[in-house]
């Protein structure tokens, strides 16, 4: 398997009144796997039917590794430069796309389709995470609606739309009042040391979408299914979504390529098979 291309980044100076710390290099976190309650939390009365029954279903994932951060613009540019990745829609096409946006190299790359995300992860020696792996990682051991408990998500927890206008010159509530994405890692990590599992960009996962996958597939040990389907699953809420879309069980789907919204909310991070990997991992987390 191709070895990981480790990328170390310099500080980016943003044309913004908000001050950010030095961007952290991408780190891969090894997780032990295990059995967990996947889907709707027992106290969440707002779950959609495709989030499974209240209290979740018992699902087991094998050990795997996953990126601490969402893939950044600069990381994705390196893949484009290598010839393995194709450029996504960029800032010139839509001001909300981060690729080639001024001062946005350390923002999560967005406006990527599913195939572009998968190609990047393959270049890194990995793959997109399975939906069950993604939720296991996002929970960080939590059985509640969010990694921090059952209190609704706010801009203290995630880059999201909290309904509050901060900058009167913008007049929008998306992105915590900035009407754009923020650099990755702008909010606290979960208990597994993973950043932006809620808010920021919603993240493509490997699976095709079906409404009843929790009961008919995942709980029965089929974490790769379904085999057929037009849509791919997206997890983790986004910078332009409200609190309920940031819950650990929230899920939706889009066609993998060609969507007219150009995926302005969509990004991704990569996962890796532990038993096959030849990549440096951080084993300081459980």
Domain boundary assignment for the chain: 28-286
Q: Are strands 271-273 and 232-235 parallel, antiparallel or unpaired?
A: unpaired
Determine how many CB atoms are found less than 10 A away from the CB of residue 276.
10
Q: What is the pLDDT of residues 27-61, one digit of tens each?
A: 999 999 999 999 999 989 999 999 999 999 999 99
Q: How confident is the model at residue 164, as a pLDDT?
A: 79
pTM: 0.88
Q: What is the pLDDT of residues 116-153, one digit of tens each?
A: 999 999 999 999 999 999 999 999 999 999 999 999 99
d(Cα 227, Cα 230) in Å, to the nearest integer?
Answer: 10
Q: Who contacts 200 (Cβ-Cβ below 8 Å, separation ≥6)?
A: 70, 108, 158, 159, 181, 182, 184, 186, 187, 236, 238, 239, 267
Q: Out of 1-5, 197-201, 241-245, 258-262, which region has the weakest mean confidence (pLDDT)?
A: 1-5
Closest CA relative to residue 268, chosen from 222, 214, 203: 203
Q: How confident is the model at residue 76, as a pLDDT?
A: 98
Q: Which fold has domain 28-286?
A: 3.90.1580
């Amino acid at each position: 398997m191709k070895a990981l291309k480790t990328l170390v980044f310099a500080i980016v100076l943003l044309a913004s009144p908000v001050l950010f710390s030095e961007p952290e290099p991408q780190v891969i976190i090894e997780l032990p796997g295990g059995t967990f309650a996947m889907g709707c939390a027992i106290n969440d009365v707002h779950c959609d039917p495709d989030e499974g029954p209240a209290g979740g279903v018992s699902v087991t994932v094998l050990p795997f590794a996953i990126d601490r951060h969402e893939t950044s613009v600069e990381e994705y540019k390196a893949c484009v430069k290598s010839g393995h990745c194709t450029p996504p829609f960029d800032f010139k096409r839509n001001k909300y796309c981060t690729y080639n946006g001024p001062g946005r190299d350390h923002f999560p790359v967005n406006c990527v389709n599913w195939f572009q995300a998968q190609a990047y992860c393959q270049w890194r020696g990995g793959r997109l995470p399975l939906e069950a792996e993604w939720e296991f990682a996002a929970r960080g051991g939590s059985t509640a609606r969010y990694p921090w408990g059952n209190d609704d998500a706010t801009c203290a927890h995630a880059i999201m739309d909290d309904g509050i206008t901060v900058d009167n010159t913008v007049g929008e509530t998306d992105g915590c009042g900035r009407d754009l994405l923020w650099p990755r890692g702008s909010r606290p990590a979960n208990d597994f040391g993973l950043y932006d599992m809620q808010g920021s960009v919603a993240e493509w996962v490997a699976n095709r979408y079906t409404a009843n996958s929790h009961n008919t597939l995942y709980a029965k040990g089929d974490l790769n299914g379904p085999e057929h389907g037009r849509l791919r699953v997206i997890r983790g809420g986004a910078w332009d979504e409200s609190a309920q879309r940031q819950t650990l069980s929230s899920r939706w789907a889009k066609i993998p390529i060609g969507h007219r919204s150009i995926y302005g909310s969509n990004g991704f991070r990569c996962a890796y098979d532990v038993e096959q990997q030849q990549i440096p991992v951080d084993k300081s987390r459980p």
